[in-house]
Amino acid sequence: MTRKRTIALVVAAAAGTAWAGTKVLSKPQPRPQKSVLATEQPIVLAHRGGSNNAPESTWLAFEKAAELGVHGFEIDLRMTKDEQIIVFHDDTVDRTSGATGLVSEMTLDEIQSIDFSEKFVDRAKFSSEELEKARILTLQELLDRFPFLYINMDMKDAPTSYEGSLMPSKLWRVIEEAGALDRVVVTSFFDEQIDRFNLYAQNRVALGAGEKEVRKAYTAYTSQFKHLYHPKADVFQLPTKHKSIRLDTAGFIRFLHSLNIKVHYWTIDQQEDMKRLLENGADGIVTDSPEVAVQLIQGEGH
């Protein structure tokens, strides 16, 4: 046996011993069941209220989506100048009329005075009474108006900003005072924000996965060290792919399911894509066209 071959065998044996040792010492613990995620069928979440059907993130959009029979909403959260948490995605209000500027530099009254239907393509299909509802809601208003629906909320303000530093504690207060602990999921692209929020929630609220958590899970899944992954999230809300990496395979979904993690995909508007994801085991569809997803799930008896 050559010296190189001997060294290779020793290295391989050492690696195998290390892998076996980690299997003994590390046993993945599935996430405890959260009631908001205890669903027997796939769910439909209207993305920002269903952005293809009404002006996004407005009372009008959420009302129309609820009428379609969605299970809940996927929303984004920002904080105003007067420290009110509103349901809004962008960091800037940019409309053809009314007040414009950074959300963090505008008061709640200024933002709620804006007609957010002015740029909506199908504005003419709504009555004048309906258009009065094309305004932005606070999170408190949304929780009060739709007390029986699942709400996935994404903290958008960066943790390094003033608004982001306040968001976790203020968000916890709103959720707790609304008695909504069992019907919301809190997440952020910033893992740090989720950790900060959980300092207050203490795992009493279902948590989504930040970008780092998703990366850790996928790295573990594609390695021989799946057993070393210990999840910090109850639900993964994912795009179907990141760059060239597919995140929607049946194998990856099964891996997350083995840890009692639900898997939702965004933003899915085509029925063919919805069907494929459901066949792969997806637990939820986040969509701008909720009527398509609702009809599919109801029609196929999921």
**What is the model's pLDDT at position 23?**
52
What is the C-alpha separation between 69 and 185, in angstroms, rounded? 19
Domain assignment of residue 131, yes or no? no
Domain assignment of residue 286, yes or no? yes
Average pLDDT over residues 45-65: 97
Residue 9's Cβ-count burial label (10 Å; 0-12, 13-18, 19+) is: exposed
Domain assignment of residue 97, yes or no? no
Cβ–Cβ < 8 Å for 61, 49: yes
How many independent structural domains does the chain possess?
1
Q: Which two tokens stand for residue 24?
A: 């003994």
Domain assignment of residue 294, yes or no? yes
Task: Note the pLDDT tens digit of each residue in 95-136.
Answer: 655 567 899 999 999 999 999 998 898 999 999 999 999 999
Average model confidence (pLDDT) across the chain: 91
What is the C-alpha separation between 43 and 302, in angstroms, rounded? 9
Residue with tokens 């997350």: 256
DSSP H helical ranges for 113-178: 128-131, 139-145, 162-177
pLDDT band at residue 81 under the 50/70/90 scheme: very high
Residue 216 pLDDT > 90, yes or no? yes
pLDDT band at residue 94 under the 50/70/90 scheme: confident
> 178: which DSSP letter?
T
Residue 4 pLDDT > 60, yes or no? no
Residue 143 pLDDT > 80, yes or no? yes
Domain assignment of residue 201, yes or no? yes
Domain residue limits at 172: 31-78+150-299
CATH number at residue 41: 3.20.20.190
Domain assignment of residue 84, yes or no? no
What is the C-alpha separation between 290 and 51, in angstroms, rounded? 9
Domain assignment of residue 96, yes or no? no
What is the C-alpha separation between 74 and 184, in angstroms, rounded? 10
pLDDT band at residue 28 under the 50/70/90 scheme: confident
Q: Which two tokens stand for residue 219?
A: 């790295």
pLDDT band at residue 5 under the 50/70/90 scheme: low
What is the per-residue DSSP string for 50-77?
Answer: TTTTSSTTBHHHHHHHHHHT-SEEEEEE
Average pLDDT over residues 17-29: 56
Q: What is the pTM of this model?
A: 0.89
What is the C-alpha separation between 195 and 210, in angstroms, rounded? 10
**What is the model's pLDDT at position 96?**
59
pLDDT band at residue 55 under the 50/70/90 scheme: very high
**What is the model's pLDDT at position 298?**
87
Sorted by sequence, the CB contacts under 8 Å of residue 88 that are 6+ apart come out as 57, 76, 77, 78, 103, 111, 136
Domain assignment of residue 142, yes or no? no
Least confident of 109-123, 263-277, 282-296: 109-123
Cβ–Cβ < 8 Å for 220, 229: yes
Residue 10 pLDDT > 80, yes or no? no
**What is the model's pLDDT at position 100?**
76
What sign does the CA torsion over 73, 78, 80, 83 have?
Answer: positive
Cβ–Cβ < 8 Å for 272, 294: no
Q: Which two tokens stand for residue 264?
A: 């939702």
